[in-house]
Amino acid sequence: MNKIQIATTNAPAAIGPYSQAIKCGNMLFISGQIPVNPADGTIPEGIKAQTAQSITNIKAILKEAGLTIDNVIKTTVFLADMSLFGDMNEVYGQEFTSPFPARSAVAVRELPKQVLVEIETIATID
């Protein structure tokens, strides 16, 4: 198995013993991205802004790997509360294009830094 670590300063640094992303074969596995602005560490207010920041972080990691959001084939969205789903989905639908990635969305008890959303991503490398 040939694992290659992908890292960029344009997305938040890992805050534990994990990688921002791992390339293995023709797949890229991106760790869950929370809505932290990597430039200053701030977290935007509200689910729409937090969803947009999480996706911005994903795009930065994809770019570091030479990919775009169109390479994404699967996402898992973790929400602080399912009542946030509609607003998250609105922003998500503006960022991804058809055919949309497969997706799971679940509510969890708590997310790091008390954010409202975290998005985990799998992409394929053409």
Single out the residue of 109, 121, 46 nearest to residue 82, CA to CA. Answer: 109
Rounded average pLDDT over 85-97: 97
Report whether pLDDT(1) > 80. no
Integer Cα distance of 118 and 105 in angstroms: 10
Cβ distance 43 to 36 under 8 Å? yes
pLDDT at 126: 80
Please list, in sequence order, all residues whose beta carbon lies within 8 angstroms of the beta carbon of residue 98, skipping any fewer than 6 positions away: none
Q: For tokens 């799971």, name the residue.
A: 104
* Three-state SS at 42: coil
pLDDT at 115: 98
Report whether pLDDT(71) > 90. yes
pLDDT at 52: 98
Phi, psi of 106 (to 5 degrees): -135, 155
Integer Cα distance of 102 and 44 in angstroms: 26
The residue range of the domain holding 53 is 3-124
Q: What is the CATH number of the domain that holds 47?
A: 3.30.1330.40
pLDDT at 96: 95
pLDDT tens digits for 13-70?
A: 988 899 999 999 999 999 999 999 999 999 999 999 999 999 999 999 999 999 999 9
User: How many separate domains does the chain show?
Assistant: 1
